[in-house]
Each structure stands twice: as C-alpha cells, then as structure tokens.
Structure 1
Amino acid sequence: MASKRSAVDPFRAMDVLSEANRMAARGLDVISLAVGQPAAPAPKLSIAAAQAMLAHGRIAYTDALGRSSLRERIARHYAERYGCAVDPARVMVTTGSSAGFALAFLAAFDAGERVAIAAPGYPAYRNILRALGLVPAEIEVDAADGYILTAERLAAEHAREPVAGVLIASPANPTGTMTPRDELERLVRFCDEAGIRFISDEIYHGLTYGEAEETALAFSQAPIVVNSFSKYYCMTGWRCGWMVLPSSLVRAAERIGQSLYISAPEMSQVAAQAAFDATSELEAVRETYVRNRRVMTERLPMLGFSDIAPIDGAFYAYARVPAGEGSATDFARRILDTCHVAITPGLDFDLRRGEQFVRLSYACDEASLIRALDRMAAGRA
C-alpha cells in the first residue's frame, strides 16, 4: 500500500508531455505547447564550461549550500539587477527550484500548518505541501482581479483561519500575471507585521514584457526567494536553482539538504555560473517569446478562446476553452489526437474551475507555434 502522503494529484502537464512523447516515438509530428520548457539550448558559455569540466574529468559533491563561487555570483546578480545587497552566506544552490520549494517548506513550517497559494497556480506547490503534511490554503483569483492575490485577500484569509505562510509567484504560472510592485510591497509588509512567512517564486524573472519585475528582497530580508536556471537561462534539464534565505533558516535548510540531496550537481553549477555572462544570447531568446506572445494575443481570440489572463510575463497563455468544446480535459485530448498539438487542461492549476480553461506554452520557436495554431484552427473548422 502506498503512503497516505503520496496521494497527491498527478502533474497533468507532465502526463500530457509523456503521451506526446509516446506519439512522437511512433513517428507522429507532435508539437508540444504543454510544458514550460524553452526550445532554445543552454547558453554557449554554459555548454563550454561544462565541456571543460568534463575534460578535467572529476565531477564531485559540493557543499550542500553549493559552490562558493556560484553563491557569490548569485549574490552579485541581486546587486546588479535589483540594487539589493545579499550576503552570499544566505544563498543556497538547489537541485532546481523544485528542491528549493521542498527545502523552504521543510525549513519554515511544521506539519499541519497552512500555507496560502493562489488558484489557479502551479500544481506542484499544492502537491509538495500535501506530501509534506502541510495544508495548502488556496485563494481563488480570476480575470476580474487580474489573477493577482492581493494583501487584502491574504489578510481576509488569515483572519478567517490563520496561515503560517504564503507563496507568491510573479510572473505567475499558468497565468503569466505580474504582481505590481506596490502590491508586492504591501504583501511583504503585511506578512512581516503578521508573522507570516513570505515565499517569493521568482523563476520567471527576466521574462517580462512591460513593467520590470521586482524581487521581494527589495522590501525585507525576511522572505525566502526561490529562483532557477531553468526558464530565462534555458537550462531545465540541468536541474540547478537557488534560494536566498533569511539568516535564521540557512543552517536548517543546509541540514535538510545534506540528507535529501547532498548537493546540486557540480557540473550544472559550473555551467549555471557561466550563464550569468550570456546575457546577449539569452535576450535574443527572450525576443522569440515577445514575438510568440504577439502571435498568441492575436490568434487565440480568433480560435474562440476567451477570458485570456494578462500575459505580462513567463511564456504561457491561460484561457477559457472555446464555447461548445466541453471540458478542458476532453478538449485537450481531442486536440492532441486530431491536431497532434499538446496543451495542458486547467484542472492542473485549479481544481474547482480548471475544467473551463487550458494553458498553452509559447516557449517553442515561432514557426512551431504558428504551425500548432494553424492545426488547431483547421481542426475546429
């Protein structure tokens, strides 16, 4: 018998990707808009750094907190990008942001405590919290409020039943919504005053298309910040991310990380450090998302999608299924079977209202996106 803690929902985007991969293995031309994975390779400087390390031959454990040179470079990144001073001693390199969330939840909360998250939201938040014996307190947001979880809404939930923490993603997955700087500051200040641990998911920083993103560290030293080399830096499979922790939690996270992961892969850490010097190459990749975003904005309404979330950042469109197409799960299944285009049903992100929505990723190249939308248009003709 499996444990009760393992009874979490599937990560449906990964299930869709698995099916798309099986179809591709049978020789079918499948275009995946299902997962948030850049089509671009890792930066050339990162690949060169990894190749040099392979030539050296020895790839080993590092400290559980990560290579000191990478931690120092991450700290410098905060000074350069946000004007924030971060002590490298507060930086922990993680096995992707996924490990960062698990370590943050384990270090900051006790079993049974409630942690507020937005719905729709990234499903792994909910699933990891439940697997660790924590209680996700989902606060519904929608098109009427710009899909933003505000300090006012958080305060109301905390008054109804206290929460020990809150996790805010900006830009958000699946909606691409940015939390405005003023609202982010209100959230952080409220949490500091109320004794609520603030966790800031900043993995889509660098991928914004209007107002520049802000780090929660601009307003307080108390938040836990989680980031990753997967999205802007195009290094999903390298499994390397980082956290900035308040000083009081560094040793706790280090102790847990020593036993759960030992360390993030050393070669990935070396490659990740090189990525900070690949800005021109990465900005060229970002420009493909700018073009793809424009295509999405123009084409989705023509295909019958509505209530499209603000595509302020990241590389997703979250939209209501066209009228007459039934549930999002059935619609996504038909699109995959008949059009050979993989998209993710909204049930992944919102357990109550998700069957009305789908998420489409535009992290692919522009030609593939246009072909995918053309196929969907033909399939609905």
Structure 2
Amino acid sequence: MITASRADISPFYAMEVMKAANKREAEGKQVFHMEVGQPATSAPAPVMEAAKKALDTRPIGYTEALGIPELREAIAGHYQNMYDLDLPADRIVVTTGSSAGFLLSFLSMFNAGDRVALAEPGYPAYRNIMKAVDLNAVGISCGPDTNFQPSPELLASFRDQLDGLLVASPSNPTGTMLTPTALKDLVDYCKSEKIAFISDEIYHGLTYGQKAVSALSYSSDAVIINSFSKYFSMTGWRLGWMVVPETLLKPIEKLTQSLYISAPAISQYAAVEAFNCEDELEGFIGNYARNRDLLLTEFPKLGLDKLAAADGAFYIYADVSHLTDDSMKFCQEMLDVTGVAATPGIDFDPNLGHKFVRFSFAGSFEDMRGAVYALKSWL
C-alpha cells in the first residue's frame, strides 16, 4: 500500500511517553505523570450536571456547523468579562478541540506551499498539521534572550516572504508570555508586512502574575484559537473555539460541514455552564500555582537550574544539556529508573530539543512532590 508523503509526520513524543508510562503502571510500578498537558481534575461540577441534564432532555445529534447559538453567546460574554472586548457572537466558531481550529484556519487562510512562521520550541502539532496540508512551517529559533518568543526583528531576518505567523502566549512547552507591548509590536509588524496572524490562546486564564492579553485587543483581523481543555479542565470533551474575521466565516463553515459536520453536541450543551464556574476554576489554578512553586524551588536544588520563565500554562521547560545531549534517551532512562514521566524537547524543537525536557505540573501536588523525591537520588 502506498502512503502519501503528507502523512509522514513526526511522532507526538508526549503521547509515546504516556504510552510507555501507562505500560509501566499496568505492570504495577509507580509512575509520576509529568508528560502530558492534561489537568488532573475533571470538568467543573456544573458542566458535569449540564451534560447529565442534556442526556435526559435534549436530542444528542448534529448541531449547526458553527456551534449552538447559546454557546457562541456564552463565549462572546467571556470576551467581555475577561478582556473587556465587545465581540459579536457571529464571529465565533465552535470546533472539535483546538486541533480542528488549527486545521480549519490553515485550510481557509493559506494555499499549498505558503510559508507560516512559528516559534521553536513550540507545540509539535502545529508543524505536523501544516505538513499534512502542504504548508511550509518556518521555524524561528527562539531562546532565553527573547523569552522563547518571536519578535519583529526575528521575523525580519527571513528574506523570503512569510504568509503567516502563529504565536502562543502562554506557550507550550515553555510557559513564557509576550508582554502586551511585544504582542502589539508583532501584530503591527504582521499587518504592515501583510502576514496573516494566528494567536493560540489556549492557556489564557492560566497565568501566575501578569494577565494574558488577547490579540483581538490589537487587531480584528487576527484569528484566535482557544479550547475548553486547559483552563476549563475539559480535555476529553474535545471542544474548542475560534474567533475569525467575517470574511472567513463562510469558508470555515463549509469546511466544517464537510470535515466534521459539527463539534460534539453533548460537549456543547455542557460547556455553556463552564463560564459560570469561576470559583472552582480558580481553585484549579491555585493547585497549579502550588505545584509550580514547588518545582521552581526544588528543581534548582537538583541541578535543573536553567529553566524558562514559567509565566503561564503548566509547564517547566528545563535545559538539561549539562546532563545529556539526547533528551529522548534521558527521558526513557528517567522513567525506567525513577518512574518520572516527562517529554523530551525534541517534541517541540527539531534543532535544539535534544538539550531540553518539558515537565508538566498539571497533575496532583502529591505526584509533583513524589517526582521531586524520586529525582533526588537519581540526579
């Protein structure tokens, strides 16, 4: 059987590590899960209740391709409450997770062969989805000097025209953020150079100091992608959303109708209640902050002292080049010896990732404390 070259993408190493960790756990051995960015908590209680009620009272079938009206209205209200932005619900597209949002944005905004820039290190699915739809992912090497984030100066170093830029603030894997000024400078630069701007805002709400600013504050032409998975602790519900310019609504609606029909109905009905759970969600963030404080205090004592600024999200991105030049082998040995499951940097950066490891602190405090104790004797 002949397979298409677009399907020849890199593995998602975080999922490979999770598979190995689950195998170890099935053998009765202890595992400290720090490999995937998945909250240890379930969905907020009102979301669960809304799902149960929907099962009893609503038909669970297809919905409108762009999402049920009450959820789109609720998302619009979220932008008013969180960012003080007056956003028409008509510009919101409900998606099957953020992954569908990336696919829909790439298909609707670019032609095959277009060049879309993204930071390295960065979320690996960006590159993989781009390759699958015949786009050229242009990696921008970003280090500690730019807080692992792109800048207009870095973009200007590319001689060939860029067609798009995808940014994430807070970022996966580093947790670093763009300041409001830095984000505005990027948006303005892209506008002046006719570069389409996509902002991954999945980790908004999960910050530990300055609040995240939406790119919508600086441009109505920016495409925003968000999800219920992280801040709202709903990974398995496979639900996200986009905010798009009016010119993209019809193309995206037609693509959605053919690719997915609609996002899962039960998830949409339940998610309307997600915006009424602030107290419970703030409790989740308090748990992440406690985990973060523990790791930022204890990791340097273990020799892991070159860490990206964990401004948001729930990740510690550690430079381990003084310990290894093979982050995959390092993570395999760490899992085998200590039971600590973490993700090698090669997942996020094909060039320098062999020097880095990402630790997720989205799990329980007990797991974080146990991981620190397990690593002490090994490191």
Amino acid in structure 2 at the alignment position of 1:241: G
Offset from partner CA, 1:320-348 (integer Å, 9 cap, x none): 11623441111100111111111000000
AA partner of residue 248 (structure 1): T
Q: Secondary structure at the match of 2:112?
A: coil
CA distance in 2, matches of 1:161, 1:229: 36
Q: Are 1:121 and 2:126 counterparts?
A: no
Identity across aligned pairs (percent)?
A: 46
Displacement of 1:156: 2.6
- What TM-score, normalized by structure 2, do the two folds share? 0.98
Q: What is the count of residue pairs matched by the alignment?
A: 378
Aligned residue number for residue 222 of structure 1: 221
What does residue range 232-251 of structure 1 map to in structure 2 within 5 Å? 232-251=231-250
- Structure 2 match to 1:44: 45
Residue in structure 2 matched with residue 253 of structure 1 by the alignment: 252
Matches of 1:308 and 1:182 in 2, distance apart?
Answer: 24
Query: What is the 5 A alignment of 1:28-39?
Result: 28-39=29-40
1:5-35: per-residue Cα shift (whole Å, max 9, x none)?
0011011001111111122122222111000
Q: How does 1:130-209 map to 2 (within 5 A)?
A: 130-157=131-158, 160-209=159-208
How far does residue 105 in structure 1 lie from its aligned partner after superposition? 0.4
Partner amino acid, structure 2, of 1:90: R
Note the C-alpha offset of 1:155: 2.6
Residues 304 and 322 in structure 1, CA contact (< 8 A), matched pair in contact too: no
The runs of at least 4 aligned residues of structure 1 exceeding 6 Å deviation read none
Aligned partners of 2:18 and 2:36 also within 8 Å: yes
Could you say if the C-alpha distance between residues 370 and 322 of structure 1 is closer, same or farther in structure 2, counting changes exceeding 3 Å? farther
Residue of structure 1 in register with 2:314 after alignment: 315
Alpha-carbon distance in structure 1 between the residues aligned to 2:155 and 2:63: 39
> What does residue 10 of structure 1 align with?
11
Deviations 1:70-112 (A, max 9, x none): 0011111111111111111110000000100000000000000
1:58 match: secondary structure: coil
Q: 1:302 to 1:80 in 2, by over 3 A?
A: same
AA aligned opposite 1:151: P
Q: CA deviation at 1:161?
A: 0.9
Q: Distance in 2 between matches of 1:209 and 1:272?
A: 25
1:57 and 1:197 mapped to 2: Cα distance? 40
Distance of 1:271 and 1:58 partners within structure 2: 13
Residue 106, structure 1, aligned to residue 107, structure 2: yes
- The one-letter code of the counterpart of 1:247 is E
Q: Distance in 1 between matches of 2:21 and 2:57?
A: 38
Contact residue 31 and residue 340 of structure 1 kept, 8 A: yes
Q: Which runs of 5 or more residues in structure 2 are unaligned? A: none
Q: Is the 8 A contact 2:324 2:355 kept in 1?
A: no
| Separation in 2, partners of 1:306, 1:357 | 12
Cα distance in 1, alignment partners of residues 244 and 325 from structure 2: 45
Cα RMSD after superposing both structures:
1.0
The verdict on how the C-alpha distance between 1:324 and 1:77 changes in structure 2, with shifts beyond 3 A counting, is closer
**Which residue does 1:91 correspond to in 2?**
92
Q: Within 1, Cα distance between the matches of 2:41 and 2:83?
A: 26
CA distance in 1: counterparts of 2:112 and 2:325, whole angstroms = 39
Give 3-state SS (helix, strand or coil) of 1:317's partner: strand
Secondary structure at the counterpart of residue 66 of structure 2: coil
Q: Report if aligned partners of 2:54, 2:270 keep a CA contact under 8 Å in 1.
A: no
What does residue 22 of structure 1 align with? 23
TM-score (norm 1): 0.97
In structure 1, what is the Cα distance between the partners aligned to 2:305 and 2:284? 28
How far apart, in 1, do the equivalents of 2:119 and 2:99 lie? Answer: 18
Could you tell me how far apart the structure 2 residues matched to 1:219 and 1:85 are? 13
